[in-house]
Every structure is written in C-alpha cells, then in structure tokens.
Structure 1
Amino acid sequence: MGLFGLFRRRPHERTGFELYAAAVGAARTPRFYAELGVPDTTAGRYELVCLHVGLLIRRLRAATDKTADALGQAVFDAMFADMDVNLREMGIGDLSVGKRVKMLWEGFHGRATAYAEALDQGDTAALAAALERNIWVKEPAPEGAGTELARHAERVSALLAGQELEALLRGQVHFA
C-alpha cells in the first residue's frame, strides 16, 4: 500500500458525508419535536437520524448497483464516524467509545431492519409501533404521533425512491 495509501480517501467518502449531513438536517426538522413530541434529547435526535439514514440506505440498496451499495456503506460509515466524534465531545472516555459505537451500530441495524420490513409490507401500524417503541421509551407517545411519523417515513421513502440514482451518487438528496 505504501505511505501515500494511508492518506487516500475511501471511495464515496465525501459523498457519503454529504448524504449523511442531509439526513441529519432532515432529522432536525423542528416539527418532529414541537408537534409530534419527539423528545428533544440526544436519544430522541439519534432516533430520528437513524430513521432518515435508514431510509436513505434502504433506497441506495434498492438500486441493486455495486456503486450505490458502496455509497450506502459510505453513508453508514459517515454516521458512525460522526457518532464516535459526538461521544468523545460529550466526554465519554476513549476506552468506552468503541463499545458505545458498537452498541449504537447494533441498535441502528435493528431499527433499520424493523422499519424496512414494515415499509416493504406497507404496514403503517407496524412501522408506527416500531417507531413508538424506539422513540418514546420513557413516556407514551402523544396520541397519533407514531402514526404521523410512520406516514412521514412512508412519504420520505417514496420520495427517495423517485430520486435519480445519478443525483444520489453526486451527493444530492431531498427528504422533503
């Protein structure tokens, strides 16, 4: 590999970060917190990032294209590189960060799988239940909030499905 190989960017790294940043921007929409009662906490924000990143990666994997799949992996890598940085900024000790990132990764995988299965089956109720189970852990979801968030996820999923793969490969994505 040589010394210069250490400084070479991975394929799609920059584009992965651009798409991830767009998903984070969508997850920070004030309406989720103000109108739907998503807890405006680190955990609540993480849940909405998981939802939007999961929808984006699902779209990229649906393309059945090696390049799109690699870009999906780059988005995933960007998310967990960001999680690593955030944990360190929050004061989590260096020795604990790896374990926490692994725990977050496992949680993301479970959530993304549950959300994708409900979307694939067109089961709004199952999607709402999964969202409620993950987002409103300490208190019940406000009346209808899980269903409204599930419908949002369905709309975003359809919107992403309609976006050209070439645009996504250039780091251009729209969540609303």
Structure 2
Amino acid sequence: MALFGLLRRRTHERAGFALYTAAVSAARDPALFGEEAVPDTLEGRFDIIALYAALLVRRLHRDPDPRGPALAQAVFDAMFADMDMNLREMGVGDMSIGKRVRAMWEAFHGRALAYESALEAEDGAALEAALARNVWSGAAPEGAAGRLARHALALDTSLAAQPFEGFVAGRADFKGTDLGSAA
C-alpha cells in the first residue's frame, strides 16, 4: 500500500510545476534587467523569480476556491525542487545543498511576507522600499525600485483578474504590463 502512495502524484503537482515554469519564463524577460533595472546576476534573477512566484502564490491563496492553498503549495514545492536541481547542476556539493536551499527558502519567505504586507495594505511606497531593500540591498538606481513596484502592482492586478480554473489547468498569464516602462 505504501508503494502506491509513493507512485501516486500529488493532486496539483503538474499544475504547480506548469505555473512555476510560467513564472520563471516571465521573470527571464530581458527588459527586467540592466544597468538601470534589476542586476543581471544570480541574485537578481532569484529576486525576480521570487517576486513572480510570491505574486502567484498570493493570488492562489486569496482565491475562495478551496483548492487554492494546495495549488499554492504545489507552486512553492516546484520552485524549491527547481532551486535544488539548479544548485546541483552548478556543482554545489551534496553536503551543503540543504543549507543553501534552506537559505533560499528563508529569503523567499521574508520577501513574500514583505511584499504581501505592502500589497495587502495597498502601500506602493512600502512595496517600493521592500523591493529596494531586497533586490538592490537598499541602493537601487534612480527610479528602478519604483518602476519594479509599479510592475509588481500591475502583475498582482492582472493575476487577480485571471480565472482560477486556468491556474488549476497550469496556465498563468504574466503579460499585460509594459516591462519597458515598468522595470
């Protein structure tokens, strides 16, 4: 009986992976990165993926459908399975993988809480400050944190307007915001 439990997929695993993949794909948009935008570094890329995943998880948690939290957890699980795999591909030793993934989890969790708090309060200045603190360690290029905050607000609004059934099917649209002027 236990063997069948190991072989059975969790209910939202496939959709969670597809949603996370959509978030990563959107977070790789070159318009987000550059001298006057997010640094094109491993850390900068992690920060944008974390932002997009946090916005997606926020959307799923806020839906009245009882499947929302389980789907949000599936996105989270896909994210950290991907982080683990990427660390291994970069040659990080098995003995330190757990510590590194935990550090990434803590970083994601802290960012998600800060962004959620600002978004829930509809406080654009707090969101801008949180992004400046996390993405640029407080030293954002002139206007960059504000542009990214406006972009995040637009994404949050766009995700909120999307039907939940699309998420259950593994579809999320991260388009609909002008990255050129937003990030």
TM-score band by shorter chain is: over 0.9
**Percent pairwise identity:** 57
Partner of residue 151, structure 1: 150
Q: Distance in 2 between matches of 1:97 and 1:136?
A: 25
Partner of residue 105, structure 2: 105
Partner of residue 121, structure 1: 121
Q: Distance in 1 between matches of 2:122 and 2:79?
A: 27
Q: Gaps spanning 5+ residues in structure 2: where?
A: 176-183
Q: Distance in 1 between matches of 2:134 and 2:36?
A: 14
Equivalent position SS for 2:174: coil
User: CA offset at residue 121 of structure 1?
Assistant: 1.0
Q: Distance in 1 between matches of 2:66 and 2:20?
A: 19
Partner of residue 179, structure 2: none
Equivalent position SS for 1:34: coil
Partner of residue 166, structure 2: 167
Q: How does 1:6-155 map to 2 (within 5 A)?
A: 6-34=6-34, 36-137=36-137, 140-155=139-154
For 1:171, give the aligned amino acid.
G
User: CA offset at residue 35 of structure 1?
Assistant: 6.6
Render the CA deviation track for 1:7-66: whole Å, top value 9, x for unaligned. 221111111010000100111111111374211111100000000000000000001332
Q: Distance in 2 between matches of 1:4 and 1:111?
A: 37
Q: Distance in 2 between matches of 1:48 and 1:57?
A: 14
Q: Distance in 2 between matches of 1:36 and 1:114?
A: 23
Q: Gaps spanning 5+ residues in structure 1: where?
A: none
User: Which consecutive aligned stretches of 4+ in structure 1 deviate over 4 angstroms post-superposition?
Assistant: none
Partner of residue 180, structure 2: none
Q: TM-score, normalised by structure 1?
A: 0.95
For 2:100, give the aligned amino acid.
R
After TM superposition, the structure 1 stretch with the greater mean CA deviation from structure 2, 23-32 or 79-88, is 23-32
For 1:145, give the aligned amino acid.
A
